[in-house]
Amino acid sequence: MWRNGNVWIVLIGELIAGLGLWSGIIGNLEFMQEKVPSDFHKSLILASGLLAGVLMGPLAGRIIDQSKKKNVLIVSSIARVLSVLFMFVAISTGSIWWMVLFLISLQISASFYFPALQATLPLIVKEQDLLQLNGMHMNIATIARVTGTAIAGLILVYWPIQTLYMMSMIAYAGLLGFTFLLKIDETKKPKEKLAKGKSGFKEVFPMLKDNKVVLMTLLLALIPVLFIGSFNLIVINVSEIQDSSSIKGMIYAVEGISFMLGTFAVKYIGTKWKIQHILFFFVYVIGFAELLLFFADMAFITLLAFALFGFAIGCFFPTAMTIFQKQVPKAIHGRFFSFRNMMDRVSFQVVLLSTGALLDIIGLPYMAIVFAITSICLSTLFLYLLKRNRVNIQLQPEKI
């Protein structure tokens, strides 16, 4: 796999783009802290971009399946570069509405880019290398997140916020350059007639009905969204509770390092545990990590909670992604991954709005209890349904 030039192009491109992405996210948080006092209002602003991504999901999936993946990646990368221009206007005018336009344009381009990338990975490596590539790709994204947030925090000390978005634009341009270098053989078309579908997710639903393994994994993947969707708002609140700006960087670093350890550990754990045991064990760990945030005023307990969460999703997501890539027919990869991204965005919107409201009404400690109970109850419900329907989650040969 490591002799494959496409693998290096994807990983290096992800590293560069990730640095720009997280520089922009830190810039967004800084801008909102200055302009928007309410947590609920912050959540509404963030949700606006996610809503745009949801609306574009069906169209994105259809276009990805009917077009060359590389072309979709290139066009969406160009859109990401141009979207940053809105943020420069927002900073110069002090208007939050220009930031909303920035978030909308960024999420629309992401609704095309990420499903296309997920559908591309099975085309550039052999089936047996997918789990390793998924884990490594997520590791690179995490390295970019830890490094990007650290650099962004340093930049804000010495330079104006515009510097962060200049860094983002340069990074997105770098990703575009690497995307042009990809060499993907897309001459072999899948034999299924599903690829000719013209109705968004029409072909995805029968597949989910017939494939209980994919359906159950898709539902389980919603549980970490409670933590992920509220992540940035939680970080801001922890910083305010502990009256420490440095805790933000520590949280991102601890969670990121733990995530990378998880992606490496899951390959070993996978030789000892069944796939469904891995998935269910770590969603329970996520619920426990949320419960620990009741003690958000204690730095050590807070960092422990984020470390557990990072390790858990580092084990969970590469496993889940590999199941999707192998179990879902290639003919509908674009539509399926667009559908999954749309589900994530809808969930993110619900979580964002709920988080903003709960933080304003009951505060972080009691919100953490609500999230923990929700995660544990959902995990138990899905485990019961798994046993009742006698579904055995395991990796099967890739479907063409």
Overall average pLDDT of the 210-219 stretch: 85
Confidence of residue 197 (pLDDT cuts 50, 70, 90): very low
- Cβ neighbours around 41 below 10 Å, total: 15
Query: What is residue 396's predicted lDDT score, i.e. its pLDDT?
Result: 55
In the chain, the amino acid numbered 18 is G
- 258: nearest Cα among 206, 315, 302: 315
Q: How far apart are CA 167 and CA 178, in angstroms?
A: 17
CA distances from 396 to 69, 213, 214, 328 (A): 24, 10, 11, 10
pLDDT digits (tens, 9 = 90+) for 13-49: 888 888 888 788 888 878 887 888 877 888 788 778 8
DSSP 244: -
Query: What is residue 193's predicted lDDT score, i.e. its pLDDT?
Result: 46
Q: Which residues contact 333 (CB under 8 A, 6 or more apart)?
A: 64, 65, 118, 119, 122, 325
- 279: nearest Cα among 321, 335, 248: 321
Please, what is the average pLDDT of the chain?
A: 84
Query: What is residue 148's predicted lDDT score, i.e. its pLDDT?
Result: 80
Percent of the chain with pLDDT over 90: 26
Query: What is residue 373's predicted lDDT score, i.e. its pLDDT?
Result: 95
In b/e form, how buried is each residue of 97-125, taking b as 16+ CB within 10 angstroms? Answer: ebbbbbbbbbbbbbbbbbbbbbbbbbbbb
Return the SS3 of 144.
helix
Q: How far apart are CA 11 and CA 134, in angstroms?
A: 10
Overall average pLDDT of the 301-320 stretch: 92
Query: What is residue 170's predicted lDDT score, i.e. its pLDDT?
Result: 93
- Cβ neighbours around 214 below 10 Å, total: 21
* Residue 77 pLDDT > 70: yes
Tokens of 84: 């940053």
Q: How far is CA 14 from the centre of its chain?
A: 13
pLDDT digits (tens, 9 = 90+) for 132-185: 787 788 778 778 877 887 788 778 778 888 998 998 999 999 989 999 998 887
**Does residue 82 or residue 246 have the better pLDDT?**
82
Q: What is the pTM of this model?
A: 0.72
Answer whether 293's CB lies under 8 Å from 365's CB: yes
In the chain, the amino acid numbered 53 is G
CA distances from 381 to 216, 258, 290, 312, 344 (A): 11, 27, 18, 19, 20
Domain 5-183+197-388 homologous superfamily, CATH: MFS general substrate transporter like domains (1.20.1250.20)
Q: Give the 3-state secondary structure percentages of the chain, helix then strand then coil, rounded to 5.
A: 85, 0, 15
Domain range list for the chain: 5-183+197-388
Which of 164-173, 248-257, 294-303 bottoms out in mean pLDDT, i.e. has the lowest? Answer: 248-257
Overall average pLDDT of the 120-141 stretch: 78
Answer whether 323's CB lies under 8 Å from 213's CB: yes
Query: What is residue 269's predicted lDDT score, i.e. its pLDDT?
Result: 86
End-to-end CA, the chain: 20
Query: What is residue 188's predicted lDDT score, i.e. its pLDDT?
Result: 57
CA dihedral 250, 269, 368, 248 (to 10 degrees): 10
